[in-house]
């Protein structure tokens, strides 16, 4: 069955490869599958397959204009020895009803690798399929994690270039080192004198600059985005929820038809939407537990039906979830308003204009699978300590928000359904907060650098340092360009050799 993609705001009938190339629809909407496919293999059969096979069985349902050979090729190039375990996404059990699904075994030790290691291959395959003549130039503004994962994914992928802008004084020392040591002839990393918003605004301006588009097209290039609203990032994420379920089936924890809960530390609502899609294609799911940090817009939305972004932006120890506009929620809104692009557009216009919208009582019923809650900074830190003390297992700050919310859920519901918590980053990536939480007594760590803290954490926990941390100690700095935000377009033209 051919699956076509419609925009949440009206445009209809694109193939999967066209939707991947476009990223965002021209009407401002996000692409969603017109009908939801169902798994063709039984979950029992999938339980005997390795990660790559499960990923193929899931992704082929959505990317129906890719041939078997193309899709298997993309999967083979993505989920290989860049991951430090052949399981790709292993499960770690901490008690009788709780498992952590470790999504951080890829090149940059955060869950963004799960999608960004395959997106470049999906994109270049899509480009060939649609006879795109230009070389794809990925432009990204980053506050840390996405930039490095995108760089690692696109490095040396033929037919692509990637240019990443980051705020020179606005990312952690480890994040900066990870980016400026990036190898690959087609990669460029530029610091800007400004904050993340300046970088983001600069990139958006270039995407909307028709004159610049014309100029680069004449030179044989076109811009594209590796942003999390791309359907090519969402689809690969569905695979690991199916994989997690089938591993619990394989080890006898679950019997056919038994349900699980998924807990997802959430920012842009992409990861949890993938869990929701996993349910719709046939995974037996009880509750989807949406965990927020102190930027708790989603918690308030699930409680009240009102999405309100008019509030202070709080900087937390889980920075990848510091988000007030969860872009991917638009896909859920579209679904629960009866796939009506007119209604969906109206809500999004209200969000843009007034800063808030309220869904109808009928739409609220469509949210019954979801449970939302949040963790304060203190609760996040306490959760890291508690899990370390109870189970000898170390989790990062984002995952801790998930685990802390799960505890609240258990206290409210006494629901002992087997539960899988998405573990979205390696604890080494956020070594300072994690080391503080793991150390029993108050210790002043302010004298130690972030890299020294990763050593300390390794000593405290007995966990080996991940390769990604090891590498950046000795890797030479390959990118040292810093420009003013207003010079971003000229810098891009210069990198592409256009004048």
Q: Which is nearer to ligand PLP, 261 or 271 (CB)?
A: 271
Q: Which is nearer to ligand PLP, 22 or 429 (CB)?
A: 429
Q: Which is nearer to ligand PLP, 147 or 270 (CB)?
A: 270
User: Is 215 assigned a catalytic role?
Assistant: no
List the one residue out of 270, 373, 272 whose CA is nearest residue 327: 270
Which of 22, 60, 93, 112 does the annotation list as catalytic?
A: 112
What's the burial of 449, exposed, middle or buried (CB within 10 Å: 0-12/13-18/19+)? exposed
Q: Which is nearer to ligand PLP, 228 or 345 (CB)?
A: 228
**What are the residues binding ligand PLP (CB under 6 A)?**
110-112, 145, 228, 265-271, 320-321, 398, 424-425
What strands, in cross-sheet order, belong to the sheet with 221-224? 221-224, 135-141, 160-167, 187-193, 481-484
Answer for the pair 249, 43: CB distance below 8 angstroms, yes or no: yes
Burial 47-81 (b: 16+ CB within 10 A, else e): bebebbbbbbbbbbbbbbbbeeebbbebbeebbee
Residue whose tokens read 């993340």: 196
32: which strand partners?
A: 6
CA distance 480 to 471: 18
Q: Which is nearer to ligand PLP, 29 or 267 (CB)?
A: 267
- Report the DSSP pairing between strands 356-358 and 306-308: antiparallel
What's the burial of 497, exposed, middle or buried (CB within 10 Å: 0-12/13-18/19+)? exposed
Exposure on the CB side of residue 265, measured as CA atoms within 13 A: 32
Compute the least distance from the CB of residue 51 to ligand PLP, in Å.
20
- List residues with catalytic annotation: 112
């Amino acid at each position: 069955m051919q699956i076509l993609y419609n925009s949440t705001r009206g445009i209809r009938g694109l193939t999967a490869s066209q939707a991947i190339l476009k990223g965002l629809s021209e009407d401002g909407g996000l692409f969603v599958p017109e009908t939801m496919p169902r798994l063709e293999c039984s979950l029992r059969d999938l339980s005997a397959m390795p990660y790559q096979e499960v990923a193929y069985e899931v992704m082929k349902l959505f990317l129906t204009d890719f041939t078997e050979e193309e899709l298997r090729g993309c999967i083979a190039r993505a989920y290989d020895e860049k991951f430090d375990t052949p399981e790709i996404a292993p499960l770690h059990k901490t008690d009788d009803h709780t498992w952590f699904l470790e999504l951080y075994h890829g090149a940059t030790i955060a869950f963004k690798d799960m999608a960004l290691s395959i997106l470049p291959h999906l994109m270049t395959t899509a480009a060939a399929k649609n006879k795109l003549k230009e070389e794809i130039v990925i432009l990204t503004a980053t506050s840390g994690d996405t930039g490095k994962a995108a760089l690692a994914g696109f490095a040396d992928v033929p037919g692509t270039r990637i240019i990443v802008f980051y705020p020179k004084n606005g990312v952690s020392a480890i994040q900066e080192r990870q980016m400026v040591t990036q190898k690959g002839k087609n990669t460029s990393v530029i610091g800007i004198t400004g904050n993340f918003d300046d970088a983001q605004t600069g990139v958006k301006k270039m995407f909307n600059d028709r004159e610049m588009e014309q100029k680069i097209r004449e030179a044989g290039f076109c811009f594209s985005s590796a942003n999390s609203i791309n359907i090519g990032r969402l689809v690969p994420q569905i695979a690991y929820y199916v994989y997690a379920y089938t591993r619990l089936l394989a080890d006898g924890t679950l019997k056919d038809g038994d349900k699980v809960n998924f807990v997802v530390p959430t920012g842009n609502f992409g990861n949890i939407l993938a869990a929701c899609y996993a349910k719709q294609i046939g995974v037996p799911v009880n509750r989807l537990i949406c965990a927020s940090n102190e930027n708790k817009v989603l918690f308030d939305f699930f409680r009240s039906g009102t999405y309100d972004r008019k509030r202070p932006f709080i900087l937390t120890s889980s920075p990848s979830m510091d988000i007030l506009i969860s872009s991917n929620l638009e896909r859920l809104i579209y679904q629960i308003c009866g796939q009506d692009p007119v209604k969906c557009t109206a809500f999004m216009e209200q969000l843009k204009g007034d800063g808030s919208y309220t869904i109808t009582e009928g739409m609220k019923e469509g949210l019954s699978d979801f449970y939302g809650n949040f963790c304060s900074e203190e609760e996040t830190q306490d959760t890291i300590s508690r899990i370390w003390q109870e189970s000898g297992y170390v989790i990062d700050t984002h995952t801790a928000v998930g685990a802390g919310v799960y505890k609240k859920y258990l206290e409210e519901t006494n629901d002992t359904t087997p539960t899988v918590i998405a573990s979205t980053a390696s604890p080494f990536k956020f070594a300072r907060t994690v080391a503080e939480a793991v150390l029993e007594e108050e210790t002043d760590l302010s004298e130690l650098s972030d890299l020294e803290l990763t050593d300390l954490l390794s000593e405290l926990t007995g966990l080996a340092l991940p390769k990604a941390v090891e590498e950046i100690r000795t890797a030479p700095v390959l990118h040292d360009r810093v420009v003013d935000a207003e010079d971003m377009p000229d810098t891009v033209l210069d990198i592409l050799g256009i004048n």
